[in-house]
């Protein structure tokens, strides 16, 4: 047991394992995990590795299996089949109290009759920690979550954001190997939620504990996560760093769930250097990086994010080598920092464009509905998704 003066330690793993060649170790491993509720498949043969010290998010809509996956990691649900490991130990059938994890739920589950101090100290008292060490560690935790001086208050005397911090401090004080968070910011208003996103990431970086975070909020996951698994129908369709998922989605679902995407179906043509051509329905040809194409697939959709597109007068000549489409402005919505346009391309596709309000600052200067325009964007800003969503979801990972 730590003495009161010892620093906060985040892992029970031997130092030699953490430092050996700086090779990251796996904290959470799921192997072919399935969860069925009767005839319904909630989690469908998922394989996953979460690394030591990582902020990892399970992102997806309601009913995609993300919370069920988290509950199986925590021991609150038993898998129908498969293997769950924590720090190399098989915990598939162990109850929650025998796993070196703690969970923060959306409702926080604070004890209303106890002070903030006693809520945070609860786990340590059950372990029989001595009073001097307990006092030191509770004050250390309250300082970490910036609630020093709140010791004597009750949960009913603090705000929602402060209650979330208390729940976080209570979960961290036992120094779990992994902290599980099930939409802990869902009950907060938008402004406070954004503030707490920054605070959660700061706290995670300070303590160095592995966080596994469940959310349906794309911006929340993008803001905090080192890696994200985008889940759909019991599996994850793509796993990677936030910028990779946004810039290079590989399925229609991921492209549409993480922000707005313009997807244009077409047929793959010949490659030219590092780019391959795609012929669209209106016979326009656009280019995308050759490395993004799946072999033996002639039918694909090319995508581009609205903010990557530039609008020009129809007679203007866009930058050399850029992809181009001609169209007509159908709608313009001024939203302050930018203007959102809907442009109908020659083939009938509806293209969303976000244009920063820098050069065109007033309403009179904006593109007007009915104007003919030329759209352009760099081939490097083009991504490719397969038209067969199931192929990406079923591919080995």
* CATH number of the CATH domain containing 363: 2.40.50.140
Helix, strand, coil distribution of the chain in percent, nearest 5? 30, 35, 35
Same domain assignment for residues 180 and 102: yes
> Is 8 among the domain residues?
no
Residue where one domain finishes, among candidates 202, 223, 247 = 247
Residue where one domain finishes, among candidates 205, 225, 247 = 247
- Which whole number is the average pLDDT over 148-165? 92
Phi, psi of 257 (to 5 degrees): -80, -35
Same domain assignment for residues 232 and 365: no
pLDDT at residue 185, as a whole number: 87
Which helix (H) or strand (E) is 257 found in, with range? helix 252-257
Whether residue 350 has pLDDT greater than 50: yes
pLDDT at residue 94, as a whole number: 96
Same domain assignment for residues 65 and 184: yes
Same domain assignment for residues 224 and 317: no
pLDDT, tens only, 222-248: 999 999 999 999 999 999 999 999 999
pLDDT, tens only, 177-193: 999 999 988 878 888 88
CA distance 272 to 189: 50
Closest Cα partner for 56 from 220, 221, 201, 225? Answer: 225
Same domain assignment for residues 194 and 328: no
pLDDT, tens only, 244-260: 999 999 999 999 999 99
Residue 365's domain comprises 260-387
pLDDT class of 33 with cuts at 50, 70, 90: very high
Same domain assignment for residues 191 and 169: yes
Rounded to 5°, the CA angle 5-9-11 comes to 155
pLDDT class of 360 with cuts at 50, 70, 90: low
CA distance 371 to 368: 6
Same domain assignment for residues 195 and 336: no
Q: How many domains does the chain divide into?
A: 2
CATH code of the domain covering residue 232 = 3.40.50.300
Residue where one domain finishes, among candidates 247, 282, 300 = 247
Closest Cα partner for 292 from 379, 388, 396? Answer: 379
Rounded to 5°, the CA angle 228-167-215 comes to 25
pLDDT at residue 9, as a whole number: 41
> Is 338 among the domain residues?
yes
Neighbouring-strand partners of residue 271: 276
pLDDT class of 5 with cuts at 50, 70, 90: very low
Q: Is 105 helix (H, G, I), strand (E, B) or coil?
A: coil
Same domain assignment for residues 290 and 185: no
């Amino acid at each position: 047991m730590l003495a009161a003066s010892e620093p906060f330690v985040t892992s029970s793993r031997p130092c030699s394992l953490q430092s050996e060649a700086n090779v990251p170790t796996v904290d959470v491993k799921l192997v072919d995990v399935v969860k069925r509720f009767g005839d319904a498949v909630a989690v469908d043969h998922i394989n996953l590795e979460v690394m030591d010290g990582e902020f990892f998010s399970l992102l997806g809509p309601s009913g995609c299996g993300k919370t069920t996956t988290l509950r199986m990691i925590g021991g609150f649900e038993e898998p129908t089949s498969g293997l769950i490991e924590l720090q190399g130990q098989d915990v598939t059938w162990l109850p929650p109290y025998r796993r070196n994890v703690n969970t923060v739920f959306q409702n926080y589950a604070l004890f209303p009759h106890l002070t903030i101090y006693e809520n945070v100290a609860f786990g340590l008292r059950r372990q029989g920690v001595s009073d001097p060490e307990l006092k030191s560690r509770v004050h250390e935790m309250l300082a970490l979550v910036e609630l020093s001086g709140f010791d004597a208050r009750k949960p009913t005397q603090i705000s929602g954001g402060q209650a979330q911090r208390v729940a976080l401090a209570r979960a961290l004080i036992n120094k779990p190997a992994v902290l599980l968070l099930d939409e802990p910011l869902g009950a907060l208003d938008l402004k406070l939620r954004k503030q707490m996103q920054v605070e959660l990431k700061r706290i995670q970086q300070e303590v160095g504990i592995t966080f596994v975070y469940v959310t349906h909020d794309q911006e929340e996951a993008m803001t905090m996560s080192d890696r994200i698994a985008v889940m759909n129908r019991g599996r994850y369709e793509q796993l990677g760093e936030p910028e990779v998922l946004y810039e290079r989605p590989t399925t229609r679902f991921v492209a549409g769930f993480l922000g707005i995407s313009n997807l244009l179906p077409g047929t793959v043509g010949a490659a030219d250097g590092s780019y391959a051509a795609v012929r669209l329905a209106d016979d326009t040809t656009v280019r995308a990086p050759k490395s993004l194409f799946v072999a033996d697939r002639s039918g694909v959709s090319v995508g581009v994010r609205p903010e990557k597109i530039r609008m020009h007068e129809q007679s203007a000549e866009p930058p050399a080598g850029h992809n181009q489409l001609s169209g007509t402005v159908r709608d313009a919505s001024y939203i302050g920092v930018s203007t959102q346009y809907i442009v109908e391309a020659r083939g009938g596709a509806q293209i969303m464009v976000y244009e920063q309000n820098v050069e065109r600052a007033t309403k009179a200067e904006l593109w007007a509905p009915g104007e003919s325009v030329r759209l352009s964007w760099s081939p490097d800003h083009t991504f490719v998704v397969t038209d067969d969503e199931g192929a990406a979801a079923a591919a080995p990972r």
